[in-house]
Structure 1
Amino acid sequence: MKIRRTAALVAATVVIGAVSAQAAVADGASPSPSPKVVLPSGLYGTSDPTYDGVWRQSLALVAQDTVGVKPAEKAVTWLAGQQCENGGFAAFRARPGTACDAKTTLDSNSTAAAVQALVAVGGRKAQVSKGVDWLRKNQNDDGGWGYNPGGASDANSTSVVLGALAAAGEKPADVTSGAGKSGLDALASLALPCSDDRNGGALAYQPDKKGKLAANADATAAGVLGALGTGFAPGKGEAPDAYTCEDGKAPEDLAHNGAVHLQNQLSTHLYLKSQLAGAEDQPDYGNTADAVTAVAAAEGVKYTKDPYAWLEKNAKSWAAQSGPAAYAQLIFAAHATGNDPRDFGGTDLVSALGKTGPAPASAQSDDGREKTDKDDKSDGGGFGTWWIVGVMFIAAVGAGFLISGRKKQQP
């Protein structure tokens, strides 16, 4: 799933965060938007949107839909206006009124995230259809998707596309390449066998140059949701008969085994560790939120109670620094575990997310009536925003499932 947390820019098709959001929290940094980018009034977040504008907007809209909030029309219009005529989306287009050309770098993650968001808000059937067509046309022979068209398939990109296909009413298993392979086949090829004592059931981001698979927590969390076909905001799953890795390549096996691996990781510290250089024992809040979401969606809530409580206690400052996508990730975790996102350790995640962008058109109150923005004036009014670290998207995550170092290795 996960805009996912951050890392460093490594290649033309592997775009990673320039500065770590976690580092900003630790260092007390107060970054601001790039002076070269004028922030659109319909956009969520105040950091430079060059590398994550569509991604964070999409997560924000899906999260609001999940909790019964109708977003501002200009927020939806901005996202829809980012689509190119061929159906694809770039990470951000500063001048959406102009036609896309050969220099416009489209990517599967932005396109698939936008499709999920446009399905959620409703009323954008034609644009959803065009987005799905673009994704179909850019499927690799192995059934998966890379970040950019023609790039090698990776677990994160494939998973967010599978979520988009399912949201749009497609059957992911039936969306196949010319070679007859689906995205689920691609995920299965990236799963580590149960015979791997430490990492059995985990997914790799991609094979290395020698074809070896290395467990990656971010890829695993994304892969669980991709196999389930749930998109960013899954509901609570059913507890399995056994919490052990079981041989099999069917989608339900991939989801179960990936969740087993993640819950084993969470049981050690209650959180996943950051793999950024010099991070030492620093938590990766975004990956932890994604892991909690994935485990709850595949295995129920038995093994998510303590990690979720840890997030409630420790992740609020991270979300405030990181902005709309981080709030969305926490809302997804609350939703999947059956918790109230309006009381996340005393913080109203829904209100906090809403304040990072244009005021929502309406929301559903606790008594079931529709409430408008006017009802929320006692909450301080305005659109309070957070100054956050500028983030870049991994092309080769989080986000997402979060730009979070999709290439990094997670023990």
Structure 2
Amino acid sequence: MNVRRRCSAAALAAIAVIGAATAPAVAADPSPSASPAPPPGLFGTTDPQYDGVWRQSLALLAQDTAGLIPSSKAVEWLTGQQCASGAFAPFRADPAGACDAKTMVDTNSTAAAVQALWAVGGHGDVVEEALGWLKSVQNKDGGWGYSPGTPSDANSTSVVIGALTATETDPEDVEKGGRSPYDALLTFALPCAEDKGAGAFAFQPGKDGKLLANADATAAGVLGALGRGLVAEAGKKADAAACADTDAPTRERAAANGAAYLADAVAEDGHLTSALGGSADQPDYGNTADAVVALAARGGADKAAEPLAWLKKNAAKWAAQSGPAAYAQLIFAAHATGTDPRDFGGTDLVELLNATGPAPQGMAASDTATTSDQATDGAEDGKKDDSPFGVWWFVGVCLVFGIGIGFLLSNRNKKQQP
């Protein structure tokens, strides 16, 4: 959850939003042109230069979430994008060539790949090397920016938290200068006393140090504060979240405050909006899907009922235009709310996602029941399903593009590489 797809059309429009709100629009509605010959094994037909690893990771995660065994070719495409350092770039046209100083690796692609490869199983060495790289580029405040060495932001920090928790690594134990990722994330939370954006998360502080509320960063921040990843299940039912200031807010308090902001933001129309370059506000489908996941993870599926209903009614055309990552986001929203992704407002999201890439090998052995049962099946398999944003992060690459541990993963992976 924009620029990772390519710095054009809606992606450039999303950058205009950042100029006003100092935050990226996660998985914003892109309008990329078709690539004449997409690499074998890759999901989608559009130019993968800015979002290849991202959309591949989301697609594999979504198939796994829907109880499918992804194509080995699709998995191999993703693993082939890793550099020797352990990092992933958005896309490497020649995986056989070594990465060099000009290869634009980033934390978001790497963290998403970690979550996908952990889910499908059988690639502990790739995951371990990626996690090692992420830890090596952690900032002194405990967080991460989109690119190594850039200031931390809420979205990047949250997606890395998701990679850590998905692999059963406690983010509290991943410190730099005595600060954990949660410490960094809380610095982006707006106090409830703010006239605008009370309880929200900012992407980064503005030039004046002021925090500006952003719904995309808030959805990411809620999931990050909860220790969740791109795939998240509904949390325990809770009362409607309300913003409340404390002297030393906990991450749970920050998540509740953020959820209160999101609930208010979708209350009127059932969806989030984005202003593109001075034009009238437009529905933001991707961020609305991320908000559904965040609201459900924080307080139960019923807290996301209104935006979920809006997505079921309106999001099919957007996903068809946007491609595999969009279908994946909707599948994540369905999963978080216990909704069947094969009947999402009359749309079979799983079938349509499968049609954008290599056909899956089939159903996982434990996933012969309905999708609503898959969370239980995954738990019985010993695989965590509560990994984190939602998504989010495509615009970060355009912000920087022009500027030129071993642990025993195999003992925890219950699935084998197909």
1:131 partnered with 2:135: no
- Contact 2:219-2:262 within 8 A present in 1 as well: yes
The 1-side partners of 2:165 and 2:211 are apart by 27
User: SS at the partner of 1:8?
Assistant: helix
Task: Name the CA distance, whole Å, in 2 between partners of 1:224 and 1:342.
Answer: 27
Structure 2 CA distance for partners of 1:84 and 1:4, relative to 1, 3 Å: closer
State the 1:275 CA deviation.
Answer: 2.1
Partner of 1:67: 66
Report the equivalent of 1:174: 173
Partner of 2:391: 401
Partner SS state of residue 7, structure 1? helix
Give 1:33 deviation, angstroms.
Answer: 2.2
Determine if contact 2:223/2:390 at 8 Å carries over to the other structure.
no
Q: Distance in 1 between matches of 2:2 and 2:223?
A: 11
Give 1:41's aligned amino acid: P
Matched residues in 2 for 1:128 and 1:210: separation?
Answer: 38
The answer to whether the Cα contact below 8 Å between 1:205 and 1:407 also exists between their aligned partners in 2 is no
Structure 2 residue 278 is the aligned partner of structure 1 residue 274:
no
How far apart are the structure 2 equivalents of 1:57 and 1:2?
Answer: 16
Indicate yes or no: 2:339 matched with 1:349: no
For residues 260-309 of structure 1, give each alpha carbon's deviation from its aligned partner in whole angstroms, at most 9, with x where no partner exists.
Answer: 11011010210111221244132011111111111011111233112111
**2: distance between equivalents of 1:288 and 1:20?**
10
Moved more, 191-200 or 218-227: 191-200
CA apart distance, 1:242: 5.0
Please state how far the C-alpha of 1:363 moved relative to its aligned partner. Answer: 1.9
**Which amino acid in the other structure matches residue 211 of structure 1?**
G
Amino acid at match of 1:71: P
Is the Cα–Cα contact under 8 Å of residues 2 and 286 in structure 1 kept in the other structure? no
Q: 1:7 Cα deviation (Å)? A: 2.7
Alignment of 1:213-228 (within 5 A): 213-228=211-226
Give the structure 2 partner of residue 191 of structure 1: 189
Q: Note the C-alpha offset of 1:98.
A: 1.1
Q: Deviations over 1:210-230 (max 9, x none)?
A: 110000100010111111122
Q: Which amino acid aligns with 2:303?
A: Y
Normalised to the residue count of structure 2, the TM-score between the two structures is 0.82
Query: Does residue 246 in structure 1 map to residue 247 in structure 2?
Result: no
What are structure 2's unaligned runs of at least 5 residues? 17-21, 371-388, 399-418
* 1:156 match: 155
Distance 1:366 1:172 in 2: 30
Which residues of structure 1 form unaligned runs of 5+? Answer: 25-30, 371-398
Give the whole-Å Cα distance in 2 for the aligned partners of 1:3 and 1:343.
30
Q: TM-score, normalised by structure 1?
A: 0.83
Q: C-alpha distance in 1, partners of 2:329/2:90?
A: 19
Structure 1's 55 and 367: CA in aligned 2 closer, same or farther, altered over 3 A? Answer: closer
**Is 1:112 paired with 2:111?**
yes
The separation in 2 between residues aligned to 1:80 and 1:303, in whole angstroms, is 37
Aligned partners of 1:3, 1:358: CA distance in 2, in Å?
A: 24
Q: Matched residues in 2 for 1:351 and 1:366: separation?
A: 19
Query: Is residue 8 from structure 1 mapped to residue 16 from structure 2 by the alignment?
Result: no
Higher relative contact order (CA 8 A, sep 6+): 1
Following superposition, the deviation at residue 97 of structure 1 comes to 1.1
* Residue 211 to residue 278, structure 1, CA distance change in 2 (3 Å): closer
Distance in 2 between residues matched to 1:246 and 1:352, nearest whole Å = 42
- One-letter identity of the residue aligned with 1:255: A
Aligned length: 367
How far apart are 1:405 and its partner, in Å? Answer: 4.8
* Structure 1 residues 33-72: Cα deviation after superposition (integer angstroms, max 9, x where no partner): 245xx41110001110000000000011111111111100
Bigger Cα displacement from structure 2, 312-321 vs 99-108: 99-108
Q: 2:205 aligns with which of 182, 196, 207?
A: 207
- Are the structure 2 counterparts of residues 339 and 367 from structure 1 closer, same or farther at C-alpha, using a change threshold of 3 Å? same
| Segment of structure 1 superposing worse, 221-230 or 301-310 | 301-310
Partner residue, 1:326: 326
Cα distance between partner residues in 2 of 1:202 and 1:15: 12
Q: 1:342 to 1:293 in 2, by over 3 A?
A: same
RMSD: 2.7
CA pair 124-15 structure 1, distance change in 2 beyond 3 A: farther
Q: Contact conserved, 2:154 with 2:185, CA < 8 A, in 1? A: yes
1:307 pairs with 2:307: yes
- Provide the secondary structure at the position in 1 that maps to 2:283: coil
Who is 1:42 aligned against?
41
